[in-house]
Amino acid sequence: MRATLGVLLGLATLGLAACGEEGSSGTQAPPSVSGAGCAPAAGDKLVVLDDDKKLQTADNIIPAINANAADPALVAALDKVSDTLTTEKLIQLNKAVDVDRKTSKVAADGFAKAENLTTGIEKGKGGPIKIGAADFSESATLGALYEIVLDAAGFDATVQTIGKREVYLGQLTKGDIQVVPEYAGTLTEFINGQVNGASAAPLASGDLDKTVAALKGLGTKQGLAFGKASKAADQNAFAVTTEFASKHGVKTLSDFATKCSGQATVLGGPAECPQRPFCQPGLEKTYGIQFGKVLSLDAGGPQSKEALKKGNASIALVFSSDGSLG
C-alpha cells in the first residue's frame, strides 16, 4: 500500500520490496553481541512500540494546496480533517477499507458522520476543486475526507486517482489539481531533492514542527501552500505481539533496548534493513539495541506480520497506520 512513499524517499525510507521467504536469509549476529535478549513470542495481535527518541522521520498527514487555490475557507475545511485525525483513527479507517473491504468513500462517509466533521464549516467562494490521490487506499480515503469537507464549505470537489508523486505534484504546482493529501517528511525530502539537488542535506527529521517549517519554505518556491499537519502519521514503525509486550513490559523502543537487547532477539525487516539508517543501523545507533539474528522479510507486509504472529521474530518493521493493527 505504501511502497510509493518508500521508493521516493530513497535511503530515508524502507518502501522497497524485499526478497526471500519468511524466516529465510537470517543473518547471525557476530559473537560480540552481548546480553540474553528476548526470544519471539507468538500471538494474534500486534502493538507498535513508541519511537520515543524520534528515530523515524515525521510523516504526518498534511494537505498540500496549490497556492492560487488556498482560499481561507478551503484551508479551514481541510484543517478540520487534520484536527480530527489521529494515528489510531487512521488505523481504523484503513481497517475499514483494507480489512473489512469497504470502499474509501463509504469509510470516509462513516467517519465524517461519527466525528461530526462538517459541523461548523464556513462557506467559501465555491467553484470546482480537484483533489489528487496517490494509487493506494489510504490516499484515496483521505481524498474522500477532503471531498466531504470541501463540499460542505461550498466547493464542488472531486477526487482523481493519479498515481505517483512525480505526476501528481507536477499537476498540483501547475494548478491542474488543487489539493493532495501528503506526508510531511516524505514530501519535504522529495521537494528538497528537486530544489537543492539529489545530494542535498536532509531537511526532514523526527521533529514535526521543524519538518513542516522546512516544507513550507520549500513549497513557496514551487507555488504550494499547506494546511495543518495532523497527529496521524504513516511512517516506518516497529511492532511486537501483545503477548511479547506484556511478557517483557515494553511500550517504547527504549523499554525494548533496556530489556531485550541481545542474542535471543530476532529483528524482522526488508532485505535492505541491515543497511538502511532507519532500520537495523538506526535501532543500534539511536537505541543501542543488539540483535542475535535479522530475518530478511518484506517491507511491513504480510511476511513481517506473520513472522511476529508465528513467533519467528521478536520485533519487526511495520507501517504505523496499517489497518491490521486495529
61-226, what's its fold?
Dipeptide-binding Protein; domain 3 (3.10.105)
State whether CATH 2.60.40.10 applies to domain 3-55+235-325. no
CB within 8 Å of 286: residues ≥ 6 apart:
53, 55
DSSP for 25-46 reads S-EEPPTT--SB-------S-E
Local confidence band at 30 (pLDDT 50, 70, 90 cut-offs):
low
The residue among 115, 176, 167 whose CA lies nearest residue 145 is: 115
Helices 87-94 and 104-114 cross at an angle (nearest 10°) of: 140
Burial of residue 38 (number of CB atoms within 10 Å: 0-12, 13-18, 19+) = buried
Predicted confidence (pLDDT) at residue 42 exceeds the cutoff of 80: yes
The residue that leads in pLDDT, 26 or 294, is 294
Q: What percent of the chain has pLDDT over 90?
A: 88
CATH 3.40.190.120-classified regions of the chain: 3-55+235-325
**51: enclosing H helix or E strand:** none
Predicted confidence (pLDDT) at residue 25 exceeds the cutoff of 90: no
For residue 49, what are the β-bridge partners? none
Which of 58-62, 121-125, 259-263 has the least mean pLDDT? 121-125
- What type of residue is 24? S
What does the pLDDT read at residue 17? 31
Local confidence band at 31 (pLDDT 50, 70, 90 cut-offs):
low
**Mean pLDDT of all residues belonging to the chain:** 91
Local confidence band at 116 (pLDDT 50, 70, 90 cut-offs):
very high
Give per-residue pLDDT as tens, 280-311.
999 999 999 999 999 999 999 999 999 999 99
DSSP for 61-74 reads EEEEEEGGG--HHH
Predicted confidence (pLDDT) at residue 15 exceeds the cutoff of 90: no
Q: Per-residue pLDDT averaged across 77-83, rounded?
A: 98
CATH 3.10.105.10-classified regions of the chain: 61-226
The secondary structure of the chain in percent helix, strand, coil, rounded to multiples of 5, reads: 40, 20, 40
Which ranges of the chain would DSSP assign to H, the alpha helix?
A: 3-9, 72-84, 87-94, 104-114, 137-152, 165-174, 184-196, 208-219, 242-248, 253-260, 280-282, 302-309
For residue 46, what are the β-bridge partners? 241
